């Protein structure tokens, strides 16, 4: 079946869109390891294997001449009930799908599944998971500050604008869901469309140039936005918040970054 932009009416495909094909197969490993079966669809420029965005399986990504890129997500046939039971899977189906071949009528239930409203499209959230997320962020913001102070500019830049931004994105998702019935897309897709205006206005300052002083500035901006959103979530949910630990971490960050050289 086809999923993604080529199958949906909300934010439909354009000339830059790829084609997402989902295959349920009795021998998925054979389709992943072999390369002959997709050659007949066009002249292949390159192909590679990655982990699927949903479901923890593998996908064969193929770039054809002319620029058409196709993602063949390949699952064992028995995985279909699992994919239709998790919020991420239902969320993908609810955006639209087109069944191409279904010899065993195994996909007959998909219209009903896709019509089921997903109350928490990115999964349930608990106080325990929330506190673990905040600790993850606070631990690593200090860790990347130490890398920066040591002169590891590359690692610090990746940490600020890579790892910490993924944690920030997840907190933005949780915060956005608290503001009402909002269609939150996975992995930050169309974030500039669904994130609240006050969050979008704060994002530019959280990204850094490849320069130690600016990375230090962006680390602080990222931390301030993350803490602001996390504190509001804790307040609205009635959860605890590790304020003392957070204060200690930022004191350590400031001490670590004091006297940071302008080059490194």
- Convert the pLDDT of each residue in 246-257 to its tens digit: 999 999 999 999
Considering 83-92, 158-167, 170-179, the range whose residues carry the highest mean pLDDT is 158-167
Give the three-state DSSP class for 19. Answer: strand
Sign of CA dihedral 90, 93, 94, 95: positive
154 and 253 together in one domain: yes
Instruction: Tell me the mean pLDDT in the region 152-159.
Output: 97
Q: How confident is the model at residue 264 (pLDDT cuts 50, 70, 90)?
A: very low
Report the candidate in 131, 141, 153, 164 with the shortest Cα–Cα distance to residue 242: 131
pLDDT given at position 263: 52
Domain region containing 159? 127-257
- Convert the pLDDT of each residue in 24-60 to its tens digit: 999 999 999 999 999 999 999 999 999 998 888 999 9
246 belongs to a structural domain: yes
184 and 244 together in one domain: yes
Domain boundary among 114, 147, 167: 114
pLDDT at 261 exceeding the cut of 80:
no
Instruction: Tell me the mean pLDDT in the region 139-157.
Output: 97
> How do beta strands 19-25 and 69-76 pair?
parallel
Among 10-19, 170-179, 195-204, the least confident range? 10-19
In the block, tokens 């990204």 appear at 207
137 and 73 together in one domain: no
The CATH number that applies at residue 86 is 3.30.460
Domain boundary among 86, 114, 142: 114
Q: How confident is the model at residue 197 (pLDDT cuts 50, 70, 90)?
A: very high
Give the three-state DSSP class for 241. Answer: coil
106 and 179 together in one domain: no
106 and 135 together in one domain: no
119 belongs to a structural domain: no
pLDDT given at position 97: 92
Return the percentage of the chain with pLDDT > 70, whole number.
96
pLDDT given at position 58: 93
Sign of CA dihedral 140, 145, 146, 151: positive
Mean pLDDT (the chain, rounded) = 91
pLDDT given at position 258: 93
- Convert the pLDDT of each residue in 86-136 to its tens digit: 878 888 888 889 999 998 888 888 888 888 765 556 678 899 999 999 999
**Angle 101-18-157 (CA atoms, 0-180°, nearest 5)?**
135
7 and 69 together in one domain: yes
- Structural domains of the chain, count: 2
99 and 178 together in one domain: no
Domain boundary among 84, 114, 144: 114
Decide which of 96 and 203 is more confident: 203
């Amino acid at each position: 079946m086809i999923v993604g932009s080529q199958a949906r009416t909300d934010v439909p495909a354009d000339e830059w869109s790829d084609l997402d094909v989902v295959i349920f197969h009795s021998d998925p490993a054979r389709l992943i390891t072999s390369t002959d079966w997709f050659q007949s669809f066009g002249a292949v420029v390159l192909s590679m294997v990655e982990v699927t965005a949903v479901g923890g399986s593998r996908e064969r990504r193929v770039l054809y001449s002319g620029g058409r890129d196709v993602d063949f997500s390949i699952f064992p046939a028995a995985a279909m009930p699992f994919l239709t039971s998790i919020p991420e899977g239902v969320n993908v189906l609810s955006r639209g799908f087109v069944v191409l071949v279904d010899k065993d009528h195994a996909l007959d239930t998909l219209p009903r599944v896709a019509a089921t409203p997903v109350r928490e499209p990115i999964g349930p959230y608990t106080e325990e998971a929330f506190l673990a997320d905040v600790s993850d962020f606070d631990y690593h913001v200090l860790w990347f500050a130490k890398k920066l102070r040591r002169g590891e500019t590359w690692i610090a830049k990746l940490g600020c604008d890579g790892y910490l931004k993924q944690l920030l994105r997840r907190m933005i998702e949780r915060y956005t869901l608290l503001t009402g019935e909002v269609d939150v897309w996975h992995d930050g897709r169309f974030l500039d469309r669904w994130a609240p205006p006050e969050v979008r206005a704060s994002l530019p300052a959280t990204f850094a140039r490849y320069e130690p002083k600016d990375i230090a500035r962006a680390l602080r901006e990222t931390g301030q936005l993350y803490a602001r959103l996390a504190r509001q979530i804790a307040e609205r949910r009635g959860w605890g918040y590790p304020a003392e630990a957070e204060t200690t971490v930022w004191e350590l960050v400031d001490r670590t970054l004091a006297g940071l050289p302008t080059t490194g």
